[in-house]
A and B are shown apart, each in its own frame.
Chain A
Amino acid sequence: MPGARRIGFFVLVAALLVFPFADRNNSHVDFLANAGAFILLALGLNIVVGFAGLLDLGYAAFFAIGSYSYAMLASQQFGLHVPFWLMLLVAPVIAAIFGVLLGAPTLRLRGDYLAIVTLGFGEIVPQTFLNLAQFTNGPNGISSLDQPSLFGRPFGFSATPYYYVLLGLIALGILIARNLQNSRLGRAWMAIREDELAARHMGINTTTTKLAAFALGASFSGLAGVAYAAKLDLVSPDQFQFNVSVLVLSMLVLGGMGNIWGVIVGSFILSFVNSFLLPQSTTLAHAAGFANVDFTNYRFMLYGVILVAMMLFRPEGLIPSRQRAAEFHEALTDAPVAAQEQAEYEGPPR
C-alpha cells in the first residue's frame, strides 16, 4: 500500500474501533452492526459470484441455515445451549456442508441453469423451515435465543458488543478473501470464470474448485447468520426470502464484483440507503406535507434499477476489479470488430 492509502486505512480502522464510544447514539451503532452482517454476506457471495463467476441466486438460504442453526442449538427450543463462540465455528461448517450438498450435483450445470437451481434452493430452504413447524415454530420463528457472553459478562441489549464481533468477523473475512484471491485456488477460480473449458484443459479440477467456492461462500453466510440471529434475538422464515439474495447481489453489482473493497463499499451504501436515506426522506416528505409518499416502498425498484443500470452502463461496478472490468469490456469491444470484419467482406469473389 502506498503511504497515503496506508495512513487512510489506519485512520479508518481507528475510527471504526472508537466509534461506539464517540457516538453514544445506540441506533447508529445498531445500524452499523446490521450493515456489518450484510458486508459479511457480500464478502461471501463475492467469492462465489465475483471470484468464481457462478451466479448464486439462493444465497439467503445459507444465511437462513446459519441463523436457524444458532436458533435451534442455542435456545430453549430443544434445551440445547451451545455457546455463541463455539457456534461461530460450527455454523459455518454446517452452512458449508449444505453448500457442498447443493453444489455437488448441480455444479456441472451451465451457468444460467445453476442460477435457477440455486434460486429453487433459496425457495425450498425457508419454505422447509416454515413447514417443519414442530421444530421451528413455523411462521412465528424461534425467539429468545441465548445471549452471547464474554468472560461471563452477557452482551445485553446494546448493539455495541455485536458491532465489535461483526467488525472482527469482517476483518477475518477480508483476510481470508484476500489470501484466497491470490492463492492457487483463487487463480483457478479466475480461470474457470473466464473460460471453463480452457481451465479444464489446463488441468484444473473444475468440480472441486467450484465446490470450494460454494462451500467457502456458504460458510461466510453461516457466520453472518449466527451473529445476525443472536443480535436480533429472533429468526423467522420471512427474513430469508428471495429479495435478500437479490439485495446482496445488488451490493456486489453496485460496488464491483470481484473487488473486496468495492463489495464492502457497495453493501455499505445499500444498507445506508435502506436504513437511513429512504426512511429519513420519507419523514422529510411527510413533514413537507406529502403525507402519501413512502419512499421505502421503492426499495425493490431501487435494487432492480441498480442491477439493470449497472449492467448496461458500468458492469464492473463503482470500484472495479481491474480483471473483471477487462472481461466485461473485452466482449463489448469485440462486437465492433466483428461488425467491421463483416463490413469489409464484400461477398464471394466473382
Chain B
Amino acid sequence: MDVFLQQVVNGLSLGGIYALIALGYTMVYGIIELINFAHGDVYTLGTFFSLAILAGLGVNGVVHGPAGVAIVLVTLLAAMLLCGITGVLIERLAYRRLRNAPRLAPLITAIGVSFILENVMQLWRGPSPIAFPEVIANPSFALGGVDITAKQIAVIVLAVGLMAALQTFIYRTKLGKAMRATAQDRDAAQLMGIDVNTTIAATFLIGSALAGAAGFVSGVYYGTTWFFNGFEAGLKAFTAAVLGGIGNVAGAMLGGFSIGLIEAIATQYIPGGAQWTNVVVFSVLVLVLIFRPSGLLGESLPEKV
C-alpha cells in the first residue's frame, strides 16, 4: 500500500509538469484547431532558457534566503516570458498565413517548426544530456509511510496555482472572453469587433509561457535535460489534453495528472515497467480517441462543415 501511495505522489508531481504543457496544447487547439507540434519543444526551450539565465546570474548550486527566492522567481518569469515570445513569433511567422489553408498544411508546418527548434537547441547545447543546477534544497517529508520531497510539493502547487490563475483569466477578463468568443466562432467574433489576430497571439503567448514554466520546473525536478526532451513530453502532454477533453482547461489539468499517475503506476506494477511506459501512454491515447474522443470533460461537438 505504501508503495502504491508513493507512486501516487510521484505520479502527481510528474503529472503537474504534463498538465502545464497540456494547457498550451488545449488552448491553441481550442482557438485555431491546430495541434501545435512545436509546443513540446517550446517546453524544452524553457529549460534551456532557464539554464542560460541561471548561468547568467552565476548560480550553480542551492540558493538560500530572500535572494534565493528572488533568483528562482526571476528565472521562472524570464523563462516564461522568453517562451511566450517564442510562441508568438512561431504563430506570426509560420501559422498565421495558413489559417485558411487545408488543415494538413499548418499541421505539416508545425512538425517542421518542431524539427527546426530541436535542431537549434542541439546546435546550441550539443546532443548530449545537460545537467541542470540543483537550485532549491530538497528536504523530504515523511507522511504516513510516504516520502514527499519539497520539489514535488513545489511542482504540484505551482501547476495548480498557474491553472487557477489561467482559469480566472479566461473567465474573468475581457481578453479571456475574447479568447472564448474567437474559439467559438472566429468570423462572428471579428464582426463583434474583437481583434482576432491579437487574441490568437495572446493565446500563443500564454500557452507558451506555461510551457516555459513547465520547462523550468522540469529542469529543477529532474536535474537534467537534452534537446530532444520535448518530443516525448509533448506527446504525453498532448495525450493528457485529449484525455481531459481538448479545448477544456480544467480537462487538461485532470488529464495531465491522470497521465502522470498512469505512468508512475505502470512503471511500478508492469514487469519491466519503465521500458513500457510510452507504449502504455500511447495505448491510453488510442483507447480514449476510439471510445471517448471528446475526453473526460469535453463536450462532443459535431464536426464543423
Contact = CB atoms under 8 A, between A and B. Distances in A.
A195 to B, nearest CB: 9
Nearest to B96: A312
A304 B116 contact: yes
Interface stretch (A12-20, A167-175, A328-336): A328-336
Contacts of B78: none
Nearest to A334: B100
A113 B289 contact: yes
Interface string A307-350: 11001100100000000000110011011001000100000000
Given A128-B279, A131-B276, A113 B293 contact: yes
A109 B293 contact: yes
A130 B292 CA distance: 30
B169 interface: no
B105 interface: yes
Contact of A105 (B104, B109, B118, B290): B290
Given A115-B35, A315-B101, A332-B101, A307 B235 contact: no
Contacts, number: 134
Could you tell me the dominant secondary structure of chain A's interface residues? helix
Given A115-B107, A246-B111, A315-B101, A106 B289 contact: yes
A258 to B, nearest CB: 11
Contacts of B35: 112, 115-116
Interface size range on A against B: 35 or more
B101 A120 contact: no
A197 B104 CA distance: 17
Contacts of B293: 109, 113
B119 A311 contact: no
A109 B289 contact: yes
A303 B115 contact: yes
A17 B44 CA distance: 49
Contacts of B104: 49, 53, 55, 111
A127 B112 contact: no
A117 B117 CA distance: 22
A306 B112 contact: yes
A304 B114 contact: yes
Interface in B258-305: 272, 275-276, 278-279, 282-283, 285-286, 289-290, 293, 303, 305
B83 to A, nearest CB: 19
Interface in B141-193: 187, 190-191
Contacts of A300: 115, 118-119, 122
A86 interface: no
Contacts of A127: 275, 278-279
B58 interface: no
Contact of B122 (A124, A297, A327, A328): A297
A131 B273 CA distance: 10
A253 interface: yes
B216 interface: no
Contact of A304 (B107, B115, B239, B283): B115
Interface string B216-241: 00000000000000010001001100
A327 B102 contact: yes
B275 to A, nearest CB: 5
A186 to B, nearest CB: 18
Given A113-B293, A332-B100, A308 B285 contact: no
A119 interface: yes
B108 to A, nearest CB: 5
Contacts of B276: 131
A305 B116 contact: yes
Nearest to B122: A297
A120 B118 CA distance: 19
B265 to A, nearest CB: 18
Given A106-B290, A298-B119, A332-B101, A311 B235 contact: no
A301 interface: yes
A55 B118 contact: no
B257 to A, nearest CB: 20
Interface of A: 49, 53, 55, 57, 105-106, 108-113, 115-117, 119-121, 123-124, 127-128, 130-131, 197, 242-243, 246, 249, 253, 297-298, 300-301, 303-308, 311-312, 315, 327-328, 331-332, 334-335, 338, 342
8 contacts: A109-B289, A120-B239, A131-B279, A249-B111, A301-B119, A305-B116, A312-B109, A315-B105
- The 4 residue pairs across chains A and B that have the minimum distance between CB atoms: A307-B112, A304-B115, A120-B282, A304-B116
Given A111-B103, A301-B116, A311-B105, 4 more contacts: A113-B289, A121-B286, A331-B100, A334-B100
